[in-house]
């Protein structure tokens, strides 16, 4: 195979050793003579995978038995509704901090379920930043405060968590979970679609504190209750077996890299490689996010005009760098450099950016 650098925002690049092991085990998992895709989710083999993945995630997040790890379906978009259905009583409201397109979607879904407030928004600066602590108009009686830790479309990221007092803090971490060490104890609930940093599409991770779980509503359809999935260890119904198997392999790979501190160092180097080209380009490349709020996962920028942007994407694709077109709602360029992207890929893109500017600037 020729070398391809995959900058897609999701489903995204997976570690090569993980794909190679999955390929090796595809037809015959651990001598069973069948694929993990064919095995019962009640089999000892799958129950081991399920338990291993949960324990690995707890180790990486440095959490204990007070937290529960769930493997659900429906993506983060399902969690936009499942969270308020479980945790937003009719006699209260929830605070949402709006920092981009995905925070907006979570907020809009909460409004369909109950009462929600926009406690802060950076929409007036086209979501180039996250709000300062002084900009937060938080309700001390809110059911929870919701943030989106990293916005894939706008390319902004929280680098310091907001102080929300005694109100439970909830985060959509779909695009930056396990990209850096995390003060997990500050969060009552974290959810993340796996298809960016954890595995393939099809499984959603939910990490929920026991105290927050006890506050959730029992008056829901069984499949929509967090309690159902905690009691059944994510095995109430047939789970996305292969996706969880892949998550387990990715978690093992992260541990082999040295854990989250080593992953963060690697991610900072990769992001700096690209941001340095942008900052040195004399505005030929214009980064969307304010420098202090730039994402380490999604580097977003514009060129002088859309014609050049289309040429940039076409030429990069011809050189084996795929997935660089910005989200259809905003255009521009987006390089998604999740955990599995090697430094080599960012070096290749930086060299291409420099050459493209030389030829077109």
Give yes or no: residues 227 and 354 share one domain. Answer: no
Q: What is the pLDDT of residue 3?
A: 80
pLDDT-derived band of residue 1, with 50, 70 and 90 as boundaries? Answer: very low
Q: Give dist(CA 145, CA 139) in Å, integer.
A: 9
Q: Give dist(CA 219, CA 227) in Å, integer.
A: 11
Residue 91 falls in the annotated catalytic set: no
What's the mean per-residue pLDDT of the chain?
A: 97
Give yes or no: residues 220 and 281 share one domain. Answer: no
The answer to whether position 288 is within a domain reads yes
Q: Give dist(CA 220, CA 225) in Å, integer.
A: 6
pLDDT in tens, 17-44: 999 999 999 999 999 999 999 999 999 9
Q: Give dist(CA 176, CA 298) in Å, integer.
A: 9
Residue 102 falls in the annotated catalytic set: yes
The answer to whether position 1 is within a domain reads no
CATH number of the domain bearing residue 144: 3.40.640.10
The answer to whether position 7 is within a domain reads no
Q: What is the pLDDT of residue 53?
A: 98
Give yes or no: residues 100 and 236 share one domain. Answer: yes
The answer to whether position 249 is within a domain reads yes
Q: What is the pLDDT of residue 66?
A: 98
Q: What is the pLDDT of residue 59?
A: 98
The answer to whether position 298 is within a domain reads yes
Give yes or no: residues 230 and 291 share one domain. Answer: no
Residue 158 falls in the annotated catalytic set: no
Give yes or no: residues 50 and 115 share one domain. Answer: yes
* Catalytic one of 102, 158, 176, 270: 102
Mean pLDDT of 176-185: 97
The answer to whether position 9 is within a domain reads no
* Catalytic one of 95, 158, 172, 176: 172
Mean pLDDT of 126-151: 98
Give yes or no: residues 21 and 72 share one domain. Answer: yes
- Angle at which helices 101-113 and 75-87 cross, to 10°: 40
> Nearest CA to 270 among 221, 324, 335?
335
- Taking CA atoms, 69 is separated from 50, 88, 120, 272, 358, in Å, by 10, 21, 29, 33, 49
Based on its alpha-carbon atoms, the radius of gyration of the chain, rounded to whole angstroms, reads 21
The DSSP symbol for 97 reads E
> Model's pTM, two decimal places?
0.97
- Enter the tokens of residue 360: 């077109």
Is the distance from CB of 167 to CB of 140 less than 8 angstroms?
yes
* Catalytic one of 95, 158, 176, 196: 196
SS3 content of the chain, % helix, strand, coil (to 5): 40, 15, 40
Mean pLDDT of 325-348: 96
The answer to whether position 5 is within a domain reads no
Mean pLDDT of 216-235: 97
The residue segments making up the domain with residue 276 are 259-360
The answer to whether position 2 is within a domain reads no
The widest CA-to-CA distance across the chain, in whole angstroms, is: 63
Mean pLDDT of 95-121: 98
pLDDT in tens, 236-293: 999 999 999 999 999 999 999 999 999 999 999 999 999 999 999 999 999 999 999 9
Give yes or no: residues 155 and 79 share one domain. Answer: yes
| Terminal C-alpha separation, the chain | 33
Q: What is the pLDDT of residue 274?
A: 98
Q: Is the pLDDT of residue 2 over 80?
A: no
Number of domains in the chain: 2
């Amino acid at each position: 195979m020729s070398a391809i650098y995959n900058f897609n925002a999701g489903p995204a690049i997976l570690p090569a050793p993980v794909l190679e092991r999955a390929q090796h085990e595809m037809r015959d998992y651990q001598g069973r003579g069948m694929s993990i895709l064919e095995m019962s989710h009640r089999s000892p083999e799958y129950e081991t995978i399920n338990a291993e993945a949960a324990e690995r995630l707890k180790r990486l997040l440095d959490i204990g038995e007070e937290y529960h790890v769930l493997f659900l379906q429906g993506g983060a978009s399902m969690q936009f509704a499942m969270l308020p259905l479980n945790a937003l009583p009719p006699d209260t409201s929830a605070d949402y901090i709006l920092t981009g397109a995905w925070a907006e979607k979570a907020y809009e879904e909460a409004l369909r379920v109950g009462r929600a407030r926009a406690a802060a928004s950076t929409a007036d600066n086209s979501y180039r930043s996250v709000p300062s602590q002084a900009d937060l108009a938080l309700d001390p009686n809110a059911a929870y405060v919701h943030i989106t830790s990293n916005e894939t479309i706008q390319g902004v990221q929280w680098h310091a968590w907001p102080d929300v007092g005694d109100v439970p803090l909830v985060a959509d971490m779909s695009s930056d979970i396990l990209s850096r060490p995390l003060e997990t104890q500050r969060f009552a609930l974290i959810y993340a679609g796996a298809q960016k940093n954890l595995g393939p599409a099809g499984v959603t991770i939910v990490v929920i504190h026991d105290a927050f779980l006890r506050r959730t509503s029992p008056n829901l359809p069984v499949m929509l209750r967090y309690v159902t999935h905690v009691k059944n260890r994510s095995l109430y119904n047939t789970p996305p077996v292969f996706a969880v198997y892949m998550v387990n392999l990715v978690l093992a790979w992260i541990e082999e890299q040295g854990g989250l501190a080593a992953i963060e160092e690697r991610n900072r180097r990769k992001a700096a490689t690209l941001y340095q080209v942008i900052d040195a380009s004399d505005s030929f490349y214009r980064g969307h996010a304010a420098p202090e709020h730039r994402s380490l996962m999604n580097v977003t920028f514009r060129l002088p005009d859309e014609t050049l942007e289309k040429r940039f994407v076409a030429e990069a694709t011809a050189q084996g760098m795929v997935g660089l077109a910005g989200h259809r709602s905003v255009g521009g360029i987006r390089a998604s450099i999740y955990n599995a992207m090697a430094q080599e890929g960012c070096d290749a893109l930086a060299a291409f950016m420099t050459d493209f500017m030389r030829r077109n600037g």
